[in-house]
Amino acid sequence: MTLYSDLAQNVRPNNYEHGSVITRKKKGRYYLFVVTKDGSRRVEKYIGAADNPDAQERAEQLKAGAEQAKALRTTVSALKQARIPSPSLKLGKILEVIANEGLFEQGIVLIGTAAFQTYAALLGYHLRNAYLATQDADLLVASFVGTEDRIDMETILQRADPTFKAKMHNDDQLPKVFKSKDNFSVDILTKFGRGRKSPIVIDELGCSAEALPFMEYLAEESVEAVALYGTGVLVRVPPPVRYAIHKLLIAQERRGLFQTKKAKDLAQARDILDILLETDPDALEDALEEARSRGPKWKKNINASLKEMGRETRQGRLPIEVRTNAKKERA
């Protein structure tokens, strides 16, 4: 936890800037360039003439940043060796290009299994279901604040993998799903607005987003987390308790072919709930009661999911004594 806290504090982009400084000769003069990593690309930028004092100072700053980046990579490796979940190489590159573009800072929130994998470090416990492989990344754009410059989501994702292509459906003005050649999917999601229409166009990102039930619950709050890829990627995710309650809600909406997703929803919710029951039961009860109070369907879904998980409710409340056969392991 100390290592993770140190990583989270130092991984911020404005804390350091780094890259490999190289020298090129052209027409008898030497020039400095910096090479940085962005997904699957190597980006080369001009610094200045090698004999220019300002360029030399800039190069020294970048070299110092490179040393700090090396230390961060060592920390990431140590955390992974301690069995803290990390994204796959593909997912790591995707998160990296989104972070490099500043989209998490502008309000995009990582949800789904990719977000769940970050909770072991936030909670301080190993999560049994955090090691499940995922072939998709879900991005919530409900609170996204764009800029005057239009950003194209497909172009951004192609920096992680050039094979990413937009997948259009009949009702799409702009794409809401992007897939790579190896079938990795990035889905853009949002909450319902007035009229409960879906999909909703997100002009600032050159895409649309599919609105889903209960997504407003995740959109209300997010926290920072570090995905263990490269030097660490600073992302935004829902608070663990909201993630778990959202899973209780949507599990009861799964039908037919989506039953396998229901089992995954409940397994992830149970992992988090059991930890919160031990570490902060009062806050968990408050969060459950607040969610139940939002409407009959909210209360019905939450209680039905708790019952299916073997967490019987008493007068709508979760019993204090909840134990699983598998002993929880402290991270």
Report pLDDT digits (tens) over 76-120: 999 999 989 999 999 999 999 999 999 999 999 999 999 999 999
Q: How confident is the model over 181-187, as a mean pLDDT?
A: 95
How far, rounded to the nearest angstrom, does the alpha carbon of residue 104 sit from its chain's CA centroid?
Answer: 9
The Cα 228–Cα 232 span in angstroms is: 5
Spatial CA neighbour of 130 closest among 5, 275, 257, 7: 275
Burial of 229 (0-12, 13-18, 19+ CB in 10 A): buried
Question: pLDDT over 90 for what percent of the chain?
Answer: 55
318 near 280, Cβ under 8 Å? no
Q: How confident is the model over 43-56, as a mean pLDDT?
A: 87
- Which structure tokens are listed for 245? 């309650």
- Give this prediction's pTM: 0.84
User: What confidence category does residue 329 fall into, taking pLDDT thresholds of 50, 70 and 90?
Assistant: low
3-state helix, strand, coil in the chain (%, to 5): 45, 20, 35
Phi and psi, residue 233, nearest 5° = -115, 120
Can you give the pLDDT at residue 21? Answer: 85
Report pLDDT digits (tens) over 269-294: 999 998 998 899 889 999 999 999 99
